[in-house]
Amino acid sequence: MLSATNLSKRYNDVIALDALNLTVQPGEVFCLLGANGAGKTTTINLFLNFIEPSSGTATINGIDVTKEPLETKKYVAYIPETVMLYRNLTGLENLEYFAALAGRPDYTRAQLLEFMKRVGLPDGAADRRVGTYSKGMRQKVGIAIALAKGAKALLLDEPTSGLDPKASNEFSALLKQLSADGVAILMATHDLFRAKESGTRVGIMKHGKLVAVHGTAEFTHADLERLYLEHMHD
Amino acid sequence: MISRIARKEFTEMLRDGRFRLLAGMVLVISILALAAGWKNYAELSRQHAAAQQETRDQWLKQDKKNPHSAAHYGVYAFKPKSQLAMVDTGVDPYMGVAVWLEAHKQNEFKFRPAQDRTAVQRFGELTGAEVLQVLLPLFIVLMTFAAFAGEREQGTLRQLLSIGVSRRSLALGKALGVAMALGLILIPSTVLAIVALALSSENGLVSGDPARGVLLGLIYLLYFAVMIALSLAVSARARSSRLALVALLSFWFANSLVASRAASDIAGWLFPTPSAVEFQKAMEADLNNEAEMRERLDRRRAELLRQYNVDTIEALPIAFSGISMQEGEEHGNEVFDRHYGRLFDRYEQQNRVYQLGGVLAPLLSVRALSMGLAGTDFDQHRHFATAAESYRRDIQRVMNGDIAANQKRGQVYLADHTLWEQVPDFEYTAPSTTWVLTNHTISLSILVFWGVAASFFMLRSAVAAKVD
């Protein structure tokens, strides 16, 4: 569903991403680990076509993101560290607006409320302005948007950093549901525990290179941490 | 898609207390300006109609007197106010709206309210045109400067673009949203203005060409579209909303406060006009050219003697005093045509420079078109002045012709109301809308060019806008 082939990004002399080859299948949760500046966010920005690759290609559902930027975005949903919403609109209005822009203007209020319920937003929150929402609630609206959009792939950029353990746990549970429904998920994260919990594979990035890829089933959490730290040593 | 975006932008604005306060203030100011303009229009047009009637009555009710005395007695001519002048008073306060038509002289216009005001008062006058030309563009700038830059700063632009919305639709939707907000001010104001006119006007709701009002509205809508497109383009390109605001306020300041003054100064420098004193002096020198007068009179005398086949003017069957006075008029008319013609041509050259300035500051084009359609631009002032002057000359011709025909040697000749009635009432027909538009093709083309250029600039900028 998500595929990068020799995907590279250079800024003048700095290599942000160096010949990344990566495929995320439907139902897979691929976690990108690595220090700040390792190229995780660059990878996600390239898939979103927010930046132009220097060479190589990124495809979503087999379509090159630079050639059909609007078409490829139909299949993905993006959840950043904090999902940014319009604070003067209610949660439901935000959901309705983003769903409409994603080509689904036809949802009824009941259907939209159902999405809000599925992601675990508390009753009554849907009609409150987003300005009053906690970060965890915003992340849930982000997932609701992905559900409403019917996204087949998710691009997550440290979606759980700063969430309290309960919210973080709820978020992971939602990801598991989505992956069970066949959504391909690419998540950049610092959270080794979450990566082990909800990931099916992990990839370790360093200086723009994907240096190791492992299935999470092979490891215990302690193994993963050891592996990660080994790679971080120069 | 575009209308969905517009609706969301509009909803967000309505929920913003700052917007409500701002829009409320602008609406109140607009209504105040309209009310002041309407009061001014209603009062002046009533006064003019009354004065025009009075001057006619006075003319007709003159006692028996020599026609030349009547010619000196004179009449006033008042430039009729178009209804749209309540929105844009144009050059009227500066050029005047009434002229006294008397023997021997083409007078300057009188009643120029601007003369009696200080520079500060002139600046502070609140007309509908000022609101439309200066205040509403400022409102547009304040509504749009953050449209893209602010969303980028808040991170919602990322979210929005990740959804897969086209950037062009986004720009058009935002433009439409601002237009809807503008409608909150424009629609009530326009309805109020039309109702006020309908209730006050004796000539019915629309006196004159209704197309003028519609065109005036379209010109302003085009101008607002230009401002919205420019603001959105700048917001999309600026690195921060703060920078966008600074850039847009600078443009607004230059466009609405500096450009007009600078264009006038440049026009005056390129095509200088004489001071009032110089002008009068030069004209009087030509008027008092005795040699030319004598030559002209000699020629006319010889012509008449030949025509009637007599030797002396005493032997003529007509009174030569009437002929000589008319010759004096004709001499004066040539001088007036030359001097006023030159002065007015200068003004028109200055106007053309001013209009061309619209290439840099679109407001200059809008100002010219607005005055033109409101019937208060310089061209229409000149059109009226020419008509009034031609009426004055008619009066002189009738009076002097009557003297020539009826005055008997050695008698005191007195004419009565039958002569006064031979002079028709002054009827002035304002030029057609087509005539006005023909005079303003430069401004119109420049404004249309701005509309097209600004739209392209907006769409291109939206496509080029950085995500973060």
Q: Which helix (H) or strand (E) holds A204?
A: strand A201-206
Q: Does residue A40 carry a pLDDT above 70?
A: yes
- B162 and A86 within 8 Å at the Cβ level: the answer is no
pLDDT digits (tens, 9 = 90+) for B270-324: 998 888 888 889 988 988 888 888 888 888 888 888 888 888 878 888 888 888 8
Q: Residue B10 corresponds to which tokens in the numbers above? A: 């509009």
Residue whose pair of structure tokens reads 């689904």 in the numeric block = A104
Task: Examine residue A198 and state whether it is found in any structural domain, yes or no.
Answer: yes
Q: What is the mean pLDDT of residues B113-130?
A: 62
Are A23 and A116 members of one domain? no
Domain enclosing residue A113, as ranges? 88-150
Confidence of residue B120 (pLDDT cuts 50, 70, 90): very low
How far is Cα A103 from Cα B164, in angstroms, rounded to an integer? 9
Find residue A188's DSSP bridge partners.
Answer: A32, A157
Last residue of one domain, picked from the residues A150, A175, A204: A150
Are A228 and A122 members of one domain? no
Are A159 and A202 members of one domain? yes
Q: What is the mean pLDDT of residues B6-32?
A: 91
Are A164 and A64 members of one domain? yes
Tell me, what's the ipTM?
0.89
Residue whose pair of structure tokens reads 């030309």 in the numeric block = B133
Q: Does residue B3 carry a pLDDT above 80?
A: yes
pLDDT at position B229: 96
CA distance B172 to chain A (A): 14
How far is Cα A206 from Cα A148, in angstroms, rounded to an integer? 35
Are A224 and A158 members of one domain? yes
How far is Cα B430 from Cα B372, in angstroms, rounded to an integer? 12
Are A66 and A156 members of one domain? yes
Are A224 and A113 members of one domain? no
Last residue of one domain, picked from the residues A150, A182, A203: A150
CB of A97 within 8 Å of a chain B CB? The answer is yes
Q: What is the mean pLDDT of residues A112-121?
A: 91
pLDDT digits (tens, 9 = 90+) for B151-194: 999 889 999 999 988 999 999 999 999 999 999 999 999 888 88
pLDDT at position B201: 64
Average pLDDT taken over every residue of chain B:
87
CA distance B1 to chain A (A): 7
Task: Examine residue A83 and state whether it is found in any structural domain, yes or no.
Answer: no
Give residue limits of the domains in chain B: 2-464
Q: Residue B343 corresponds to which tokens in the numbers above? A: 């002065």
Residue whose pair of structure tokens reads 């690759």 in the numeric block = A53
Are A156 and A145 members of one domain? no
pLDDT digits (tens, 9 = 90+) for B211-267: 888 899 999 999 999 999 999 999 999 999 999 999 999 999 999 889 988 998 998
Q: Does residue A143 carry a pLDDT above 60?
A: yes
Q: Does residue B109 carry a pLDDT above 90?
A: no
What are B96-99's contacts with CB under 8 Å, separation 24+?
A: B97/B44, B97/B48, B98/B48, B98/B51, B99/B385, B99/B388
What percent of chain B clears pLDDT 90, i.e. is strictly above it? 37
Are A66 and A173 members of one domain? yes
pLDDT digits (tens, 9 = 90+) for B200-219: 666 555 556 778 888 999 99
Task: Examine residue A71 and state whether it is found in any structural domain, yes or no.
Answer: yes
CATH number at residue A189: 3.40.50.300
How far is Cα A85 from Cα B306, in angstroms, rounded to an integer? 99
How far is Cα A195 from Cα A203, in angstroms, rounded to an integer? 10
Task: Examine residue A81 and state whether it is found in any structural domain, yes or no.
Answer: no
Are A18 and A56 members of one domain? yes
Q: Best interface-test mutation with A: which of B7, B162, B168, B467 has the largest number of A CBs within 10 A?
A: B162
What total of structural domains would you count in chain A?
Answer: 2
Q: Does residue B328 carry a pLDDT above 50?
A: yes
What percent of chain B clears pLDDT 70, i.e. is strictly above it? 95
Residues of B in contact with A84 (CB under 8 A): 154-156, 158-159
CA distance A139 to chain B (A): 12
Task: Examine residue A70 and state whether it is found in any structural domain, yes or no.
Answer: yes
Q: What is the mean pLDDT of residues B358-372?
A: 93
Confidence of residue A101 (pLDDT cuts 50, 70, 90): very high
Task: Examine residue A129 and state whether it is found in any structural domain, yes or no.
Answer: yes
pLDDT digits (tens, 9 = 90+) for B70-91: 888 888 888 888 888 888 888 8
pLDDT at position B123: 46
Average pLDDT taken over every residue of chain A:
89
Q: Does residue B359 carry a pLDDT above 90?
A: yes
Q: What is the mean pLDDT of residues A38-52?
A: 91
Q: Best interface-test mutation with B: which of A86, A87, A147, A157 has the largest number of B CBs within 10 A?
A: A86
Q: Is B307 exposed, middle or buried (0-12, 13-18, 19+ CB in 10 A)?
A: exposed
Single out the residue of B384, B124, B145, B403 nearest to residue B252, CA to CA.
B145
Are A62 and A157 members of one domain? yes
Higher pLDDT, B218 or B412: B218
DSSP code of residue A154 = E
Q: Best interface-test mutation with B: which of A49, A52, A90, A101 has the largest number of B CBs within 10 A?
A: A101
Q: Does residue A95 carry a pLDDT above 90?
A: yes
Are A116 and A102 members of one domain? yes
